[in-house]
Structure 1
Amino acid sequence: MNRISVIIPAKNEEEGLALILPRIREKLPDAEIIVVNDGSSDNTIKVCNQYATRVVTHPYSMGNGAAVKSGARAASGEILLFMDADGQHQPEDIRRLLERLDENYDMVVGARDSDSQSSIGRSYANKIYNRLASWMVGTRIDDLTSGFRAVRADKFRKFLHLLPNGFSYPTTITMSFFRAGHPVAYVPIVTGQREGKSHIRIVHDGVRFLLIIFKIGTLYAPLKLFFPVSLGFFLTGLFYYLYTFIQYQRFTNMSAFLFITSVLVFLIGLVSEQITALNFKDSEK
């Protein structure tokens, strides 16, 4: 049986940890539980010591993604199970993720329903992210930002260098897995109310999530971004040419500029597509 490492990033989450750690130990008595203390100033370490939990401590707050990477590097299990420390993820759902992982998937994600979102605004934002990311990778993504997931350690560590230090690590690892051809499954879950105060800033981190989507899209599917831009320049140039031809019976410099730009953008996307093929070399090993 594969050894399981449960990795829980935590920053001032003593209340949530006191609730979930005994429940995790009850469900997975033989699992390695790692809490990454991301510069906490509360009793996080004290709570962890009560439940025979391994603690990896950052000297200062480095971010949720950095904590995830530290936990992945320290883990000894073949299966990595990531959970939030705020009590929203239910340990009772762990078995469902692990059972689905045994069906030849490389990653299984707990997909939240609309009632599990903390606000209406965040619910709509996540729907937009999910649809945009699905278009990028060509596969339906049910929950792009869920931090509750089980994944094979050897596959996950191949993408550590891509993961940001902030809150958008689920976005990056999800899109990376899809584009690299690793099978991903979703298991419906219902999350509870978090314990303590959220560290996510809606506007700031929302913009960062969006940038991460385009970053990974450019990294793995550049033509998905470059081709629409190229097509936009081409159609603009075409319509402008038709207008100037009908009105003045001539081909203008602006039309030529738009056509040339369209070709250049397309060629850059084409070259980028060939370059990104090199990223799949290490993913196939």
Structure 2
Amino acid sequence: MVEHLSPERQQLAADAQPEARPLLSIVIPAYNEAEAITATVEELLRVPELNDAEIIVVDDGSTDDTAERLAHFDRIVLIRHRANRGYSAAIATGARLSKGDYILWYDGDGQHRPEDLLKVARCLVENNLEYCIGVRALGSAEPRERRFGKLILRMAVSIATSQPVGDFNSGLRGFRRDILLRYLHLLPTGFGASTMTTLLMLERGHIGQEVPIITRSRIGKSSVRQFRDGMRTLMIILRIFLLFKPLLFFGAIGVFLILGGGIYGFAEAITQRQGFPVFGALIIILGVQSLFFGLLNDQISHMRRERLD
């Protein structure tokens, strides 16, 4: 059991393990999943194809007996956070301590099916991909109240990546180990690891694929709050824009201000016949500054990309 290791010590601990490296590592983040976690793990352990897989459960500071219900499983690695640090932190901890060539994410609330996990794993390994995302197909359980919000967010993600996006925040996905570890430091604290990795994979041009999956109704109460986590997701998308497409972001603002200031200024000058108004000139100046700010940040973004590559 590992508690409170820094990211650097987590990576050193994983690299220092003498055992042979498994092909697959399955990371299961769990926060107050006492009702579902036992059945979730037992389902995976019954799958013959996963006999050699490493199964890591990260108990993210649960206040119920999630960890205690896992104590009798000899085949799993149980990691405990002393305090609740969020889904992204749990994923990052499990990934850093994993030893597999491929890292798979699997929710601990009973939504996912082992056969879909195998589909994602086969997609990764057989096609030599860098990532694979399980896309929830028709027939999957999904609360109706979340559909409109997800549609809006999907549109925002598509604009951010300049390409159509399917299920951008599915919790069932897999990555080649070296690819995922490269981006762990960019994952937001708390909520948003799924959305962030989708955006990063698409924006950075990694080779991946989507496979259809069916999700079941979760067991127990969800810790997701629709409005709060929706706003957090929008902030993640904004962060991606600023990280990878600052010129598009600030350039759009700049062009809007320049056009708006110009139209307003000329309209006032023509109708009032008192020359170009100062307010219109100020708006245009702000637009020009926004364009130059975008150019500056675009250069910084290129330097960041060189670090990632």
TM over 0.5: yes
Q: Which runs of 5+ in 2 are unaligned?
A: 1-20
Contact 1:114 1:123 in 2 (8 A): no
User: What is the aligned partner in structure 1 of residue 113 from structure 2?
Assistant: 90
User: What is the aligned partner in structure 2 of residue 269 from structure 1?
Assistant: 294
The alignment status of 1:105 with 2:129, answered yes or no, reads yes
Q: What is the CA distance between 1:248 and its match in structure 2?
A: 2.6
Contact 1:180 1:283 in 2 (8 A): no
- Tell me how far apart the structure 2 counterparts of residues 247 and 43 of structure 1 sit (CA, whole Å): 73
Alignment of structure 1 residues 20-35 onto 2, 5 Å: 20-27=40-47, 28-35=50-57
Give the direction of change, closer, same or farther, for the CA distance of 1:70–1:256 in structure 2 (3 Å limit). same
User: What is the aligned partner in structure 2 of residue 5 from structure 1?
Assistant: 25
User: What is the aligned partner in structure 2 of residue 73 from structure 1?
Assistant: 96
Alignment of structure 1 residues 119-268 onto 2, 5 Å: 119-249=143-273, 250-268=275-293
Q: Which shifted more, 72-81 or 20-29?
A: 20-29
Q: What is the CA distance between 1:105 and its match in structure 2?
A: 2.4
TM-score (norm 1): 0.94
Contact 2:116 2:214 in 1 (8 A): no
User: What is the aligned partner in structure 1 of residue 36 from structure 2?
Assistant: 16
| AA partner of residue 72 (structure 1) | A
| AA partner of residue 192 (structure 1) | R
The number of aligned residues is: 284
RMSD value, Cα: 1.7
- Tell me how far apart the structure 1 counterparts of residues 26 and 148 of structure 2 sit (CA, whole Å): 30
TM-score (norm 2): 0.87
User: What is the aligned partner in structure 2 of residue 42 from structure 1?
Assistant: 64
Please give the per-residue CA displacement for 1:54-85, whole angstroms capped at 9, x wherever unaligned.
10011121111111111011101110000110
| AA partner of residue 24 (structure 1) | L
Q: Which runs of 5+ in 1 are unaligned?
A: none
Contact 2:60 2:80 in 1 (8 A): yes
Q: What is the CA distance between 1:97 and its match in structure 2?
A: 0.9
Q: What is the CA distance between 1:272 and its match in structure 2?
A: 0.8
| AA partner of residue 163 (structure 2) | T
Q: Which shifted more, 56-65 or 106-115?
A: 106-115
Q: Which shifted more, 84-93 or 233-242?
A: 233-242
- Tell me how far apart the structure 1 counterparts of residues 58 and 189 of structure 2 sit (CA, whole Å): 13
Contact 2:22 2:99 in 1 (8 A): no
Contact 1:89 1:191 in 2 (8 A): yes
